[in-house]
């Protein structure tokens, strides 16, 4: 076992074969590279569900940290094409949390949930020895929607467009500049620093997914650990479809470019909550609507065959196979900066 999410081999060997009683109404079960489960309600609707850790970083301020904890999960649920509506939360809090910190955190959770139309319907809250930040419990969201709107790997078809929103390393940039602001203030212009620091509020793809789902999607996946290239390879593997992407269509925010260059990490394989990969047969309409709503988006490729692989056409016309990253370089940068500041 290694730090972070378990790899595909461990998932397939240990978890997938042992899921309890198999039930026929489960139309999307646990699968590596797929963010949500889905249950057929037998009335033309499905229930989608997703669980994540409650991720709270006190250095951000408890209210600000709570916003991100909500949007990490809401973004995952939204990849299904069906928005979250209900939540249950388990808070296992460290003894050092103060009453006013807990109140600030909970109000932050409440306000973030209210903005996206989600209600807490149950949970558990306690303070326990042996717990600590940033992982302080578990968080589950549910959504109910029309089955025909559900995105899943089996719907991906040859000819579908592949869209990327916002560009790479959104989360890496937002987290590093918010965790170590003085380090970056001393090395970036004020304009670039402020742009990078405020990237924090782009670390959600709930809105991206909501817009795309109203038009029509076949599958969506957010670019978390492993970044954009990791997300693309996970979509290809999960759908058993081959993908061709074009380097000349890539785009990257200028602040992301400066921050990732400064800490010497590859933005295309760095953690990027906030970036959504959208597979759809309505590519131009989805892209144009996202842009009208203020979200950068581009059709970076298409589904081409049944290979389950991703091929990138470089600017010079040569082709290279994109492999899933062995590790996300964000964590190396995170620990390097922790030792310097």
Domain limits, the chain: 8-149, 153-339
Cβ atoms 90, 56 nearer than 8 A: no
- What is the reported pLDDT for 323? 95
DSSP assignment string, 195-214: HHHGGGGG---HHHHHHHHH
* pLDDT reading at 1 higher than 70: no
Angstrom distances, CA of residue 142 to CA of 75, 108, 121, 277, 315: 12, 20, 10, 21, 42
- What is the reported pLDDT for 311? 98
pLDDT in tens, 166-199: 999 999 999 999 999 999 999 999 999 999 999 9
- What is the reported pLDDT for 164? 98
Which two tokens mark 97? Answer: 């949390």
Provide the pLDDT confidence category of residue 51 given band limits of 50, 70 and 90: very high
- What is the reported pLDDT for 337? 94
Provide the pLDDT confidence category of residue 252 given band limits of 50, 70 and 90: very high
Per cent of the chain over pLDDT 70 is 99
- Fold classification of 8-149 is 60s Ribosomal Protein L30; Chain: A; (3.30.1330)
How far apart, in whole angstroms, are the C-alpha atoms of residue 217 and residue 282? 8
Cβ atoms 242, 303 nearer than 8 A: yes
Q: Mean of the pLDDT values across residues 103-126?
A: 98
Provide the pLDDT confidence category of residue 6 given band limits of 50, 70 and 90: confident
Per cent of the chain over pLDDT 90 is 92
- What is the reported pLDDT for 222? 96
CATH of domain 153-339: 3.90.650.10
* pLDDT reading at 3 higher than 70: no
> pTM to 2 decimals?
0.94
Provide the pLDDT confidence category of residue 286 given band limits of 50, 70 and 90: very high
Cβ atoms 314, 255 nearer than 8 A: no
Cβ-Cβ contacts under 8 Å for 76 (sequence gap 6 or more): 35, 36, 50, 52, 141, 222
Helix (H, G, I), strand (E, B), or coil: what is residue 222? strand
């Amino acid at each position: 076992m290694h730090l972070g999410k378990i790899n595909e081999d461990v998932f397939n060997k240990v978890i997938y074969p042992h899921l309890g009683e198999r039930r026929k109404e489960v139309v999307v079960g646990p699968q590596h590279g797929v963010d949500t489960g889905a249950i057929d309600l037998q009335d033309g609707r499905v229930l989608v569900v997703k669980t994540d850790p409650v991720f709270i970083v006190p250095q951000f301020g408890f209210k600000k940290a709570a916003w991100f904890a909500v949007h990490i999960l809401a973004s995952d649920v939204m990849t299904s094409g069906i928005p979250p509506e209900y939540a249950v939360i388990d808070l296992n809090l460290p003894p050092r949390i103060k009453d006013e910190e807990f109140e600030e955190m909970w109000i932050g959770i409440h306000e973030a949930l209210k903005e996206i139309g989600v209600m807490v319907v149950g949970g558990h809250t306690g303070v326990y020895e042996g717990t600590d930040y940033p992982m302080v419990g578990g968080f589950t969201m549910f959504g109910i929607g029309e089955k025909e709107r559900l995105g899943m790997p089996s719907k991906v078809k040859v000819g579908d467009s592949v869209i990327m929103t916002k560009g790479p390393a959104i989360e890496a940039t937002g987290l590093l500049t918010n965790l170590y602001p003085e380090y970056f203030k001393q090395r970036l212009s004020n304009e670039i620093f402020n742009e990078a620091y405020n990237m924090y509020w782009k670390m959600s793809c709930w809105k991206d997914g909501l817009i795309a789902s109203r038009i029509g999607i076949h599958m969506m996946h957010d670019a978390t650990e492993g970044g954009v290239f990791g997300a693309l390879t996970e979509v290809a593997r999960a759908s058993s479809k081959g993908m061709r992407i074009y380097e000349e269509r890539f785009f990257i925010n200028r602040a992301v470019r400066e921050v990732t260059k400064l800490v010497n990490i590859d933005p295309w394989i760095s953690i990027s909550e906030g970036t959504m990969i959208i597979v759809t047969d309505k590519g131009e309409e989805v892209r144009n609507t996202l842009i009208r709503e203020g979200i950068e988006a581009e059709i970076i490729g298409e589904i081409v065959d049944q290979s389950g692989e991703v091929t990138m056409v470089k600017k010079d016309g040569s082709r290279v196979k994109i492999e899933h990253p062995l590790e996300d370089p964000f964590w190396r940068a995170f620990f390097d900066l922790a030792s310097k500041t």
